[in-house]
Amino acid sequence: MSAPLSIAFIGTGVMGRSMAGHLQKAGHRLHVYNRTKEKAAALIEAGAQWHESAGAAAAPADVVITMLGFPSDVEASYLGAGGIVERAKPGTLLIDMTTSSPALARKIAEAAAARGQSSLDAPVSGGDLGAKEARLVIMVGGDATAFAGAKPLFEIMGKNIALHGGPGAGQCCKMANQIAVAVGMVAWCEALAYAKKAGLDPTAVHGSISGGAAGSWALTNLAPRALGENYAPGFYVKHILKDMRIALESAEELKLDLPGLATAKKLYDQVATRGWEDCGTQALYRLYTSL
């Protein structure tokens, strides 16, 4: 590894704390901020320096990485008064790994460039397990030189890493991913709900279909959680809803009709209405079995 970097990591939730932990174990110096300090406790105990705001964490850093919940959080953290862009030094590399809006990624890139900083949008896929095992898929948009500089850090957190184009391209790739994820969730939930209604053991059916043409990452990893009535979040319902909203808005701008995604969004709206928005996305199966 090259010389250790001073890295601000902002957002140490379900995925962020694992991602930050890998960077810390690789020898980089961490500056951390999270709305709930307790979620950064393990990183702080291992030597990370705590700060009281995203901007404060960014000020001493060579690289700033954010892993936040919603585009509104990203915009406030980067572009708000006293935020990352205002307080980071010229030459700092800003990397937003949140799933956010392509338009916002372009806005941040423009603001960063005006202050002599570089930026990448680099959303990820792989959920809590991918973050823990450092095998995330990382989809990147931005300048090729900035990407080359960031790649050693990405390789600490993930395995499948690709630059897809200029600012916003990483977010567009992630929207393609989330469209496939959301519609695929409907597929396996309907398959297993059908099996149960037909009087079959859905666990046995899962064993028969998960390794064939019907197989998917979600069917292999999330369906067993749902069948065991384990709805703990690897990825929150409220976050897949956010992603679907962004994807549908982006598709509308592109004049593209996505009926499968629209159906998935309506179903997940029902999941949220039942009070399950803080559950994992596998809670969609719970909706089918309670109808």
Q: Where in the sequence numbering do the catalytic residues fall?
A: 174
**Start-end of H helices in the chain:** 16-25, 41-45, 54-58, 71-79, 84-87, 102-114, 127-132, 144-157, 169-197, 202-209, 217-221, 223-227, 237-253, 259-273, 283-290
d(CA 187, CA 176): 17
Closest CA to 21 of 47, 55, 1: 47
21 CB-near residues (< 8 Å, 6+ apart):
42, 43, 46
d(CA 269, CA 257): 19
**Residue 284: CB atoms within 10 Å:** 28
Helix/strand/coil for 137: strand
Give exposure, 99-137, as e/b (b: 16+ Cβ within 10 Å). bbbbbbbbbbbebbeeeebbbbbbbbbbbbebbbebebb
d(CA 2, CA 11): 25
122, 150 Cβ separation under 8 angstroms: yes
